[in-house]
Structure 1
Amino acid sequence: MSNKILAKIEVSPSQLQTSSLSMEFQRVCLTEVTANVITDISTQTQELVVKVEGSTTQEQGYEHSSKLLNKIVEELKRHYGRLDGYKDENLVLFIPKPNNPLPHHPRGYLVRPDILALSKSTEKKLTKTPGWHYLRSVGEWKPGKNFSDTDIAQQREYVASAIQARPDNPSMLGVIMCPGGYMLSYGSPCGYVVTEHLAFSNIAPLVSYVHSLHVPPAAIDLADPKRTITLHTGDDPDSAPRWQITDDAYGLEDHLFDLIFIGSPFSRMTTVFAGPRTDLVVQDSYPQDSRQREAELLRELGEDPLGWVKVVEPANPTIKFKALEKMNLGSGFAHRQRHRLVLSSTGSAFEKCETISEAVGAIYDLLEGNRRAIVKRRVLHRDISPGNILIKPKPDSLPKPEDDVCFIRGVYDREPIRASLAILSDLDNGVKLTERHLSLKDIQEIDKSLSSDTLELKALTGTPMYIARGPSLGRYKPPRRAYRFELLPQLQPPDAAQRYEQAYPNDPFRKKQGKIGEYNEDLGNECRERQPHTIQLVQRPWHDAESMLLVFLIFLLRSKPKDSKPEDPASLKKLQEFYGAVRNTRIGTEVDNRDSMIRGRWDMLLHACLDHLADPISEMCVALDFDYEFLVPATGINHEVVLHEILQRHLFQIYYKLKDPEEKTFSDVQLDTSSFRPLSSRA
């Protein structure tokens, strides 16, 4: 379910091994229960503790641990019943492992945690398994006397899934129990932490954990009372959730939204809502940077940013989210602050492309919009991935004659004022480029004055699987032999070249033919000598272009035609292994498994009904054989966007052939937008 999560797990840094950190966990994450109440509850729960410690089967463990936790709730209510958290409508109920997977996870996860905590009043209304959005806490039961790293990782996975489903307050305590004791955990966008193994003889933290679900400490309550997100399920509590947002900063009052995207847990965790009755999009995130970087960069793109989402300015910019408390819980935690961006652009996910030509055109248009942002506005995205792409955007992103921008339908139809097929969003990792393209030596000199523009370019970032290979490795790898850079692609037939060149009358680079430049031997030698300016890779505009091609390649790898027959299981098994290796390539590893995809046999990788694309895809992939840092550009070549130009020519060539009625063997293909080829073990 969460290979991406599991791949990043490092148990030791996030586990509280020392008493001082454990005490900090209890101080910050738990609401204290007085000593006399602890003594009383310890006595009242003694029999159930013995049963938990004596559990010999999974079923006994589920039952006895849930009963123990519910008994603690009962006893706490007896002592603290005057508090709002212990009113009947707020009382927490612990449920043992359900028969069916929990529904309505925003990422579609279908798993069954061993212990669920939700309000008792909610449980009474439900006729089916509770949805993830109802959870107040989540727990695991393990049969051994001690917890393995795998057990701890499993609990981390469930807490991660739970906070993703609770945009109203993505902050959750968890518990993992076994006959030999228990561990408590806490997760939020700021990070994840788990206590040391605690014995049931020390029941105070367990009681405080249950108490904290009813009376949460301020530090773990991320909800802002002045800018609220509340659950809305309508007349059917078993239905998929919607969310009502009230925010005076933007003049929103109980506006209804669907949660359409949720980012990785324990990090920035970008959360995107789209209104079913409005064109507004609300995007919340938890960056470490106190600046509202994305809003600032989107404003840099102008009032009508071609190929990008459009920002709605707040009606009252003085209204801010409450400050989140800083938690000293070890290396697994970072201090973050919630930010909100409201956009007036909506659209569909990239995976909903209905035809090959739409996917080809979408990537072309994304390159065009990204190219303009780099050349005209000096903005670099740095995190291109499918989650940051919208197709069929509303409202239309339409160029004006003076913009020197033309999207693919305008190029093909010879009508420059045609809307983009796709737009980019999410500039959380974006950066403002220097006014001109700098060499590595120039950047090294500027870094001495601590220029944020260049230092940020060395803070490499991106989404695993889609991050360009250079930034993924984080350093330069000069080739063993000097690069022989490819010639610029020449569009065929002449009509295709004419359409392309006429679409960009003011850009001579679009008409350029021949060599793009020579290999920079001096830089290659400087890298081998590990001179200071070559030690750390700098993120460049061509890395954005590479990421866009990776998005396209992985989309093609997964795509299947509409109404196509099931593929041969034997051949699929090999592809599953191949795709698994590509998907699990980690940032920073010396061997990047995506190389095998880029240089692979596309006639064997694609679905059989798409094999006519194999040759042009292979030809386009040759452009990724080079690190363009080592290019000395020829006259008239824009070094920064040379890869954009190469890829756009290849893509237009494919688009032209797909649209050509005379082409009999190179036809467009309707795609299945409801499912992909079963290449993932989770498919």
Structure 2
Amino acid sequence: MAHIPVAGAWALASTVQVIRVIARSLPNRLLTHTVATDSLFASWLSFGHLFDLVVHETDAPSKSRTTMGGVVTWDCAPPPTFSSTRLNKPMNETFEALLQEKQLRSLVENYSSATPTNCNMFVLLLNCASSLIHDKWAPDKKLVVFRDGHVHKQTGLLHEFHAGELDLGMVIDVTNGLTDVDLVNSLPWYLALSTVEWKGEIEPGIEIEAILETGAYLELAKQCRPDLVCMYGLLASPGGYSILYRSPFGPHTSREFDWGDVDALLAYIYTLYVPRPDLPSCDHTISRAITTNIYEPPTWNVCDGDEVYENCVTKDARDMTWVARVGTSPVTIKDTYRDVMACFREGEIYDILHKNGPAPGFLKVKKEYDVQCGGRPITVTCGNVMWVKKRLIMHTYGQPLRKCASLVEFLKCMYDILEAHRWAVQERNILHRDISIGNILVQAEDVEDGQEFTDLEYRPIFVNEVLNDDFRAPPMARLADMDNAAELDPEKAVSPTFVAKKRRVKVEPLRCRTGTPKYIARSPAIGLVLAMNGNWAVMPELSSDLAKKYRKAYSNNRCGMRVFADELSFHGGFHDLKLRMAHKDNRALRATEFRHRPRHDAESVFWCMVVFLLLAVPLGSPDQDAGEPALYDAWKLIGDHEIGSSTDCIDLRSRLLQSERWEEWLHEDLAHAGQLMCLLAVQVSPEWSMFVPPPHMFNLHEAMQRIILTHIHMWDGGEKDVKFDTERLRDPTDPYYWNYWELKRKENNVSPKSDLSGNTQSTSAAKLPGKRLADAIEEKEEPEAKRQNCTTEGTQADPYQLAFSPTCI
């Protein structure tokens, strides 16, 4: 099996996400052409299945939006008003006088008429225009200088991933005393104000690929600039040029302008000096920390009123979210953009959870507030949708789930996540609705502030207390990222925003499809009660010694499930064939009865286990091996999963629930965990709402926790407690992909195993540049930033970034 290093995949993840965001807005015929004709993007898209969208609920969308494949996009045609709505121009003036400047006019004429054109000519043209605009309209601003990326290599990309070189890089010169000597060898990405891609020639039919590539670079640059709200990019060729604008909503592109019309080009440069007052450009509460070495990874200072958090280190960056750790302390800052019409606020959810002190199993939070600039909140709009920038100050820092050191440790984490979630529903009426690998943290550290959890009578009881009688044993893992959470029972709701909203309008947030594609439960993925039913499962029983410990630990539990045992039933109920048949061909009924339930979040925990165990690498495994067809067969069922569209779609992940091939799919040293996954799959498979009477809301939590606890008890301390290599993941790439071996040969990274023709390939210990999975798989492939779908009354909602939830928050 090919193993891929964990460090450094975030940039690739977001690059792929940007490509997918743009690509999803293209007509099918163009998208087909794009994927089929360019090996670079084909390989990126082939790895794109490793990353996710996150789907959020929101109110009904504007009519200008369309849906494609269940994902909300905007119409792909460039808006005719791009220049007037995205670019700025001098008041009561034009650029006509500027074009009378002899040098600029000559450069424009030479560039537009030259055959062939070259990059150096374009650099001269841009710098001349920048200098003239600076002297005429912005003499008090720092000069914007364009640099040739062929000469000045770009460095300092987030997570040390280098996806290729821009033809031009643009930085603010003289910032921090920079000189030409400083920038002679490379351009730090965090100094980039914009990106420019110059194409010496764009062949007919591949214009879309050039836009995709430019958009990808723009996304990478934006990740490195948390102080910017939006960013501009430029794509130029001998035939003309286009301008890109990237906001938290995603990329927008202008039409192509020919070189006879350079007004838009000059307006683009002018806007870099004088941003539009109606479009927020910068967040002035974030500034770069002073450094003596511009080539070191930057740190940032974040102003929080009278307090300044110094030397913040970026841990996650996507279009909607930036997460940074304050130095080496446990303090973590999360900036994100949220729909002003959302029913719930993350800070209010945390207030409910922590009403009696910091709730075990969750992050400690200091406060949440709207980020302001000039006395007003920073907002971005698209159509009739408005997002506001919010900042969450957290007093917890943790590691991604991938850092679990062993199989038993991982199972303990899963048990404790189910327990924390169960407690939140039972005692706080809170439903998470977006459990994914990226939203689970381990090895968490807290700020010591003297606060204690005081609700001891009905506290969550975690696995080490059950097994070892360790009173108030801390959780092995914590649930993070409550920005999609909701209150389960609206009649008991206390969240101020939701309570106020439901007084004005009828809202049903639990009817919304919310989650991350790989991990979202099957029913919320399509917004319907499931028609199929799968296995009929009975409640698992614990061994006598384990049952004794279990009942002692939970003797004060109020839900009644801790001592539950099936007596000729299935979780206390029976499958009702008439009920199932009534729903099978009645889509409207299934949509009407759908609500997000606690068991759906428990199912998400199961999918987290699937992804983790499929990709886990036992410690000491060979560094490299060839792609594995068995792993790919399993991975393609979950790795390509997306949120269902308005018509019924087949959830391929269901095949993972019905199959008994787990021993074949998992790493050979983890084959014994196949039986565990089969037992869990039997419990996850049924549509439990089709049973009469319906089971308890924690029936799936209870079943999964009993199975997991049994295997922890059996494997703890024995040879079956496999140790993990926390720096690598198995490579689930299709070994039969048309250029799989070609790419490996080109990268000098072919395994010592015969290829498909029977010839033996050479080997190298080199890594796969440009194809590093990383804990990006666990980290809210957010990513992409968050996209939103809503099935209430058949509506669909707003775009959310491609991607991942923060790993370290």
Instruction: Identify if the C-alpha distance between structure 1 residues 45 and 604 changes in structure 2 by more than 3 Å, giving closer, same or farther.
Output: farther
- 1:522 Cα deviation from its structure 2 partner: 5.1
Deviates more, 1:200-209 or 1:160-169: 160-169
Aligned residue type for 1:614: G
Q: Is the 8 A contact 1:308 1:425 kept in 2?
A: yes
Instruction: Identify if the C-alpha distance between structure 1 residues 528 and 563 changes in structure 2 by more than 3 Å, giving closer, same or farther.
Output: closer
- 1:123 Cα deviation from its structure 2 partner: 6.8
- 1:486 Cα deviation from its structure 2 partner: 0.5
- 1:73 Cα deviation from its structure 2 partner: 1.4
Show the counterpart of 1:610. Answer: 670
Q: Is the 8 A contact 1:603 1:611 kept in 2?
A: yes
Q: Is the 8 A contact 1:398 1:417 kept in 2?
A: no
Alignment deviations for residues 550-574 of structure 1 (CA, whole Å, 9 cap, x no partner)? 1221111111122321353152x55
Instruction: Identify if the C-alpha distance between structure 1 residues 449 and 233 changes in structure 2 by more than 3 Å, giving closer, same or farther.
Output: closer
Aligned residue type for 1:620: L
Deviates more, 1:63-72 or 1:298-307: 63-72
Alignment deviations for residues 215-239 of structure 1 (CA, whole Å, 9 cap, x no partner)? 22233434344xx111226322111
Instruction: Identify if the C-alpha distance between structure 1 residues 31 and 300 changes in structure 2 by more than 3 Å, giving closer, same or farther.
Output: farther
Show the counterpart of 2:393. Answer: 342
Instruction: Identify if the C-alpha distance between structure 1 residues 116 and 101 changes in structure 2 by more than 3 Å, giving closer, same or farther.
Output: closer
Show the counterpart of 2:58. Answer: none
Q: Is the 8 A contact 1:128 1:238 kept in 2?
A: no
- 1:55 Cα deviation from its structure 2 partner: 5.6
Does structure 1 residue 144 correspond to structure 2 residue 209?
no
Decide which structure has greater helix share.
1
- 1:613 Cα deviation from its structure 2 partner: 1.3
What's the secondary structure of 1:259's corresponding residue? strand
From 360, 367, 375, the counterpart of 2:418: 367
- 1:354 Cα deviation from its structure 2 partner: 1.6
Q: Is the 8 A contact 1:52 1:178 kept in 2?
A: no
Q: Is the 8 A contact 1:15 1:195 kept in 2?
A: no
Show the counterpart of 2:750. Answer: none
Show the counterpart of 2:85. Answer: 24
From 9, 20, 23, the counterpart of 1:7: 20
Q: Is the 8 A contact 2:528 2:591 kept in 1?
A: yes
Q: Is the 8 A contact 1:409 1:418 kept in 2?
A: yes
Q: Pairwise mapping of residues 121-200 of structure 1 onto structure 2 (< 5 A)? A: 121=174, 122=178, 124=180, 125-126=182-183, 129-142=186-199, 143-144=201-202, 148-200=207-259
Deviates more, 1:209-218 or 1:643-652: 209-218
Show the counterpart of 1:304. Answer: 358
What's the secondary structure of 1:510's corresponding residue? coil
Deviates more, 1:171-180 or 1:671-680: 671-680
- 1:586 Cα deviation from its structure 2 partner: 1.9
In 2, Cα distance between equivalents of 1:415 and 1:139: 59
- 1:304 Cα deviation from its structure 2 partner: 2.0
Q: Is the 8 A contact 2:539 2:565 kept in 1?
A: yes
From 546, 549, 553, the counterpart of 1:496: 546
Instruction: Identify if the C-alpha distance between structure 1 residues 651 and 63 changes in structure 2 by more than 3 Å, giving closer, same or farther.
Output: farther
Show the counterpart of 2:269. Answer: 210
In 2, Cα distance between equivalents of 1:30 and 1:486: 70
Show the counterpart of 2:347. Answer: 295
Aligned residue type for 2:531: P
In 1, Cα distance between equivalents of 2:405 and 2:672: 18
Q: Pairwise mapping of residues 219-258 of structure 1 onto structure 2 (< 5 A)? A: 219-225=278-284, 228-232=285-289, 234-248=291-305, 251-258=306-313
Instruction: Identify if the C-alpha distance between structure 1 residues 324 and 543 changes in structure 2 by more than 3 Å, giving closer, same or farther.
Output: same
Q: Is the 8 A contact 2:154 2:189 kept in 1?
A: no
What's the secondary structure of 1:139's corresponding residue? strand
In 2, Cα distance between equivalents of 1:135 and 1:7: 23
- 1:187 Cα deviation from its structure 2 partner: 0.7
Instruction: Identify if the C-alpha distance between structure 1 residues 432 and 36 changes in structure 2 by more than 3 Å, giving closer, same or farther.
Output: same
Q: Is the 8 A contact 2:148 2:169 kept in 1?
A: yes
What's the secondary structure of 1:92's corresponding residue? strand
Deviates more, 1:72-81 or 1:418-427: 72-81
Percent sequence identity is 23
Show the counterpart of 1:505. Answer: 555
Aligned residue type for 1:408: V
Show the counterpart of 1:682. Answer: 771
Uncovered stretches (5+) of structure 1, i.e. residues with no partner? 438-446
In 1, Cα distance between equivalents of 2:121 and 2:633: 41
- 1:203 Cα deviation from its structure 2 partner: 0.1
Show the counterpart of 1:412. Answer: 467
Aligned residue type for 2:684: L
- 1:103 Cα deviation from its structure 2 partner: 3.1
In 2, Cα distance between equivalents of 1:104 and 1:20: 33
- 1:504 Cα deviation from its structure 2 partner: 0.7
In 2, Cα distance between equivalents of 1:148 and 1:247: 44
- 1:435 Cα deviation from its structure 2 partner: 5.7
What's the secondary structure of 1:502's corresponding residue? helix
Alignment deviations for residues 324-368 of structure 1 (CA, whole Å, 9 cap, x no partner)? 45556x6xx942111111111221111111222221111111111
Instruction: Identify if the C-alpha distance between structure 1 residues 403 and 150 changes in structure 2 by more than 3 Å, giving closer, same or farther.
Output: same
Show the counterpart of 2:584. Answer: 528
Deviates more, 1:642-651 or 1:469-478: 469-478
Instruction: Identify if the C-alpha distance between structure 1 residues 592 and 24 changes in structure 2 by more than 3 Å, giving closer, same or farther.
Output: same
- 1:372 Cα deviation from its structure 2 partner: 0.7
- 1:114 Cα deviation from its structure 2 partner: 2.8
From 631, 637, 640, the counterpart of 1:584: 640
Show the counterpart of 2:786. Answer: none
What's the secondary structure of 2:562's corresponding residue? helix
Uncovered stretches (5+) of structure 2, i.e. residues with no partner? 1-11, 28-73, 493-501, 734-769, 773-809
- 1:672 Cα deviation from its structure 2 partner: 1.4
Aligned residue type for 1:351: R
- 1:509 Cα deviation from its structure 2 partner: 1.0
**Paired residues, number:** 643
Show the counterpart of 2:429. Answer: 378
- 1:308 Cα deviation from its structure 2 partner: 1.0
Instruction: Identify if the C-alpha distance between structure 1 residues 591 and 284 changes in structure 2 by more than 3 Å, giving closer, same or farther.
Output: same
In 2, Cα distance between equivalents of 1:614 and 1:30: 67
Show the counterpart of 2:622. Answer: 565
In 1, Cα distance between equivalents of 2:92 and 2:620: 59
Aligned residue type for 2:202: G
Does structure 1 residue 487 correspond to structure 2 residue 487?
no
From 631, 635, 658, the counterpart of 2:691: 631
In 2, Cα distance between equivalents of 1:31 and 1:648: 66
- 1:75 Cα deviation from its structure 2 partner: 2.6
Deviates more, 1:608-617 or 1:102-111: 102-111
Show the counterpart of 1:440. Answer: none
Instruction: Identify if the C-alpha distance between structure 1 residues 448 and 241 changes in structure 2 by more than 3 Å, giving closer, same or farther.
Output: closer
Show the counterpart of 1:441. Answer: none
What's the secondary structure of 2:186's corresponding residue? coil
In 2, Cα distance between equivalents of 1:31 and 1:591: 56
What's the secondary structure of 1:218's corresponding residue? coil
Q: Is the 8 A contact 2:151 2:185 kept in 1?
A: no
TM-score normalized by structure 2?
Answer: 0.73
Bigger relative contact order, structure 1 or 2 (CA pairs below 8 A, ≥6 apart): 2
TM-score normalized by structure 1?
Answer: 0.85
Instruction: Identify if the C-alpha distance between structure 1 residues 418 and 518 changes in structure 2 by more than 3 Å, giving closer, same or farther.
Output: same
